[in-house]
Amino acid sequence: MKKVSFDSVQHLIPENCWYKDQHYDEQVLLCEGDQNWKNPVDLDHIFGAEQDAEFYPLVLVTGNLQATQIFNTDTDGSSGLIVLGDLLAENVLVGGQEIYICGNLHVRGLFWGDYNHGSLHVEGNIRASVFLNTDYNVDSYRFLALENLTIPHLLWDEIDEDYDHPDYLTMLFDKAFLFNEDEMGEVAYSWKDWIKAEQLYEALRENRSVLLESVTAAENMQAPFFFADQEISPSNLLRFAEGILLSRENDQPGEDRQLAYWDGDVFRRIFMRSCEPLSCMLYFQKSEEFGCLVYFGFDPASMNNIMMPKKPVFALAFRELNEVGEVWHPFSLLSPSRYRDFLKEQWPLLLDHYSEMNFLEETLQRKVSVETFKAIMDVPLVKKMAKKHDDDDGAIFFRGFQWEFQNENRAEDQHARISIVKDLGKDRFECYYFYLLETVSGDPAVFLYTQENDDDELYEVQPIDRWKIRRALLFFDLLEKNIFRLNDSY
């Protein structure tokens, strides 16, 4: 970190950044390359200076920044932070400046933006266990539409109407950081009214976590890698067949299984015929240009000799989509580099995606089991609401969520269901429905459905919808943790 003139770094500042058009006589701080700030950083005193030291209006990091705690208490005006790469931090509590991230923002714990003199701009993805917005400037459309956001706990004064009670905060913060209702003694006008800010800042200065461990553990839950390594190999291709996504109980031989999805301009498909691991086939397509195939073929010698058992051969092939006929060309050392480079890039991405899909499917089956579903439906408060399902007062409203319960009624072809609807504000909703249905074998199982809004047609959530499954799991966990407590007061 070094002191430089603002003019010497102004050309590095992104065009959309507020600081781009500013002019400072004071020096700014430049951090060249990737940074790892192991000690807590107070942006009010970024250079470790005393209160009467000169003020640095801006900190510019030209690479990725990894930090523990980033915070400031002066929300009228504090040092700005620009990161030209990614920012990974434990906690970020800011206000009074612009935070501009050209890459992704990942906060393992709490991001708290306070007061309208501050703003956040992230060009990539935003991920945080808890995002607290108290009169802070963000891209409202992006946050309401949940675009490139992974925030299980979003508390936002602008869209929340129930910050008059601390129940939700007590699920996130240790009680040492919160006022109780007796200490408040007045009406809350914001989530911040419940928070003992000085205690939070003190915890950050001492590099301590501020959220309950259960909150950060749930959000930072990482999917274990499902494969032995990242090599393009026959053993890894066969490994796809061993996950629960392509091989299920009671599968009938010959039934097709596939997972297919677009990711930007790349299309990926995983295909297998049930009970036939050697039929596993991976297809990668670059826009409308070309495709690559990873599969098991058969040795031509064994195919031409009826006395010889067919011998499977691991194979790679490519073809141009505009080529007449579906002519697949085997990979060789002479194959054009763009096909080899494309496959080399896409293979590990698919392994990561499949690992997460398989993990989430296993987690969904474990956390939302038939036993858990029935236990919730058996709660007296839930029983009461289920009987009033068709009435206006047949729902439980909890901190922006609407929970509804429906009993099975075979005569009316009605299945048992737990509905979770999250109000996103401005007539937008996020909806998840957990149905108790029979499988092909006749055994009960819980199936997850969703809809784009609360008046659209329902459809089953597929494993490729990793973000939706994560959200549904978090929402269900919130319901499960609170329904029994609410029942006790009922």
Per-residue pLDDT reduced to its tens digit, 148-202: 888 878 889 887 666 777 878 888 998 899 998 888 877 888 999 999 999 999 9
pTM: 0.70
Assess whether 203 and 168 both reside in one domain: yes
- Of 168, 194, 219, the one marking the end of a domain is 219
State the maximum Cα–Cα separation within the chain, in Å, rounded to a whole number: 91
Q: Is residue 227 part of a domain?
A: no
CA distance 305 to 309: 8
- The neighbour count for residue 462, using CB atoms within 10 Å, is 16
Q: Is residue 361 part of a domain?
A: no
Number of structural domains (the chain) is 3
CA distance 295 to 344: 15
Residue 94's domain spans which residues?
2-219
Assess whether 412 and 302 both reside in one domain: no
C-alpha torsion 62→66→69→74, nearest 10 = 10
Q: Cα-flanking dihedrals φ and ψ of residue 107, to 5°?
A: -110, 115
Q: Residue 357: in which H helix or E strand, if any?
A: helix 337-367
Q: Is residue 53 part of a domain?
A: yes
Q: Which two tokens stand for residue 253?
A: 């031989």
Assess whether 214 and 283 both reside in one domain: no
Assess whether 330 and 412 both reside in one domain: no
- Of 219, 245, 272, the one marking the end of a domain is 219
pLDDT of residue 215: 81
Which candidate, 125, 170, 144, 119, places its Cα nearest to that of 16?
119
Assess whether 212 and 248 both reside in one domain: no
Residues of the chain with pLDDT under 70: 47-53, 160-162, 217-221, 248-254, 299-310, 425-426, 454-455, 490
272 contact partners, CB below 8 Å, separation of at least 6: 240, 241, 246, 247, 256, 257, 258, 279, 280, 281
Assess whether 127 and 77 both reside in one domain: yes
170 contact partners, CB below 8 Å, separation of at least 6: 178
Assess whether 11 and 160 both reside in one domain: yes
Q: Which residue has the tokens 């301009």?
A: 265
Assess whether 32 and 156 both reside in one domain: yes
Q: Is residue 226 part of a domain?
A: no
Q: Is residue 229 part of a domain?
A: no
Assess whether 184 and 284 both reside in one domain: no
CA distance 391 to 303: 67
Assess whether 163 and 243 both reside in one domain: no
Assess whether 214 and 241 both reside in one domain: no
Q: Which two tokens stand for residue 342?
A: 């494309």
Q: Residue 267: in which H helix or E strand, if any?
A: strand 266-273
Q: Is residue 348 part of a domain?
A: yes
In Å, how far are 29, 267, 284, 465 from 263, measured between CA atoms? 38, 6, 11, 11
Assess whether 73 and 157 both reside in one domain: yes
pLDDT of residue 14: 97
- Of 185, 219, 253, the one marking the end of a domain is 219
Q: Is residue 131 part of a domain?
A: yes
Q: What angle do CA 258, 259, 261 make, to 5 degrees?
A: 140
Q: Per residue in 286-344, pLDDT tens?
A: 999 999 999 998 755 444 455 555 678 999 999 999 888 788 999 988 899 999 999 99
Q: Is residue 224 part of a domain?
A: no
